[in-house]
Amino acid sequence: MYCISATNAVGKKETTIEIIILDKPGPPSGPIRFEEITTQSVTMSWDPPKYNGGCQISNYIVQKRNTTTTTWENVSINWARTTIKVTKLTTGTEYQFRIIYEFRVAAENIVGVGEPSLPSSYYKACDPKFKPSAPTYVNVIDSTKTSITVSWGKPLSDGGSEIQGYIVEVCKAEEEQWTMVTPPTGLRVNKYEIMKLTEGQEYKIQVCALNKLGVGEPLGLSGTIKPEEKFEPPQIHLHSELRKGITVKAGGSVRIHIPFKGRPAPEIMWMKDEGNLTEKAVIEKAVNFTQLSIDSCDRNDSGKYTLSLTNSSGCVSEFVSVKVLDTPGAPQNLVVKSIKKDSVTLEWDKPEHDGGSRIGGYLIEMLPKGTDKWGVATNTKTCDGTVTGLTAGAEYQFRIIAYNEKGKSEPRVLAAPVIASDMTMEPNINMQFNTYTVLAGKDLKLEFPVLGRPKPKVNWMKNGQPFKVTSRVNILNTASTTGIQITEACKDDFGKYSITANNAVGTVTEDLTVPPANVRITEVTKNSVSLVWQRPPYDGGSKITGYSLERREASNGRWVKANFTNIIELGFTVSGLSQDESYEFRVFAKNAVGSVSNPSLIAGPVTCVDACGELLTSI
């Protein structure tokens, strides 16, 4: 198609013309097919050329030649159809009867004669003389309780005539009478399933070929065969494209078609992400395939779909990944991280589903009280963000929206409105232990997190007096912690240390106390244990008024009180114990103001048996 354009100062005009190039046609499409061969004729056919030269084919030129010469002889020069019967072929003596011809065809149109087709193979001009030979092989390819499937090979000789079909016959192993199980005209295929056989019965099977002269010699199956169920472990035939995964747009459909094998028929089970399928999924089950179908897909249909097949011979599983291109799910776990009078900081978790593509970011929207229109306050790439410019004392609602290349998610709304004001929190000192020990001459460094809003003021005391910083002892305060560092500790550093944190909201105090020291087991009998200990180095600023003792059986770990009255002395005998039982002990001190120390280190375990002499067991 050509376009001609003419333009002047007045305007422009265009028109198109079509030019057809006429040429000789291409060769007829092959190969040449021979439909019938006799002693004096051959019927053959071919396909039109793939290229007709730009106009209709007018006729074909058919040629032949004797294979003993090199000269081509025209059979027809104006044949319009693609099938022709060539007659007057030579026959007679045995030598002349074996004369071979080959044919070629050329197409012609108004331009001229095209290239001839490729020559055909050699063919004999003869009538059939023999029945076909026996098939080359007979094999059993499958079996059930009531059927046997056999296949066979084409005979080496067709007897001079085309094979018209195959006949299959069976016979019980103990009999000699053969029964034809195929139509008398034969089968055009090389495989057949023999049905309605008796389970457990042994059979002989034979196959023979058929041509115009009749049925050829049979070929029997080697030995006998009986119908029986085959057992095969399941096999899944997963297409290579399915292994790459399936990607579908939201609203589209998914079809996962998987063929399989297995005898007996395996049990079919589909799962999604190690769990059950949704109600949207439709499962089709057949003898040799299964199909999972999902229509109107959305982001929740993304995941890994696993097919498991199980029968008595084994089990197998394969999975197909499905990605649905959709908007992401809503962000999760939205909370307030901090509030000030002019700003609020929020944090959240990413959506459970990203919609099949990377999350591009998050929109933080806010709704001031008294309005009904949400507005975008800020945009962030991370899972937290700060909204500034708030009015002190005003109330706001907030929500988060995730987005990807397909669009925005549903919003995740904060559970409760936020009032713009400085956040307050009572002080808290996170002290894991209240007792710390250091050897004389060694260094000690302690650090404790301090929480609170506004930031608490921290104060240290020692033995009820303001703490004095020295060249060896120093207080370490940071924005979020407080601590103490003691270099080359000595007896002057021993005592009770108190930490007080206070702000506008409240005050909290934590003490580092010292328990009773050096608890020792001095005597053991079959039903009692005697212990002694030392007075605590520090009394908490008030006189020690007594001690309490606890015991536990080493096997069960449950502490119980071992004394029923206040212990004044620095020792006590625990009676009523069980012979051959092992026990552990610990001691508490208490002062006049009712404060109770932490427990001593554990003494024991010790076993209740009669012993000679004093025990020096201690902790």
pLDDT at 617: 42
CA dist 449 and 247 (Å) reads: 50
pLDDT along the chain (619 residues), means of 10: 78 77 69 74 81 74 74 77 82 35 47 55 58 93 92 90 93 93 93 94 96 92 91 92 92 94 92 90 92 93 95 94 93 92 94 90 94 92 94 93 93 93 83 66 85 87 84 88 85 76 85 66 89 76 84 82 88 89 88 76 84 45
* Residue reference for tokens 């919609």: 355
CA dist 261 and 458 (Å) reads: 76
The radius of gyration computed from the CA coordinates of the chain, to the nearest angstrom, equals 50
CB 385 within 8 A of CB 364: yes
pLDDT at 94: 33
pLDDT at 572: 92
CA dist 538 and 595 (Å) reads: 12
pLDDT at 400: 97
CA dist 608 and 604 (Å) reads: 11
Domains and CATH numbers, the chain: 29-124 (2.60.40.10), 138-220 (2.60.40.10), 232-325 (2.60.40.10), 332-419 (2.60.40.10), 425-512 (2.60.40.10), 517-618 (2.60.40.10)
pLDDT at 599: 78
- The answer for residues whose C-beta is within 8 angstroms of residue 279's C-beta and 6 or more apart is none
Q: Where are the alpha helices (DSSP H) in 340-401?
A: none
Q: Name residue 408's beta-bridge partners.
A: 403
Among 424, 421, 372, 422, residue whose Cα is nearest residue 397:
372
Q: What is the largest CA-CA distance in the chain?
A: 144
Q: Name residue 505's beta-bridge partners.
A: none
Among 167, 166, 164, 191, residue whose Cα is nearest residue 178:
167
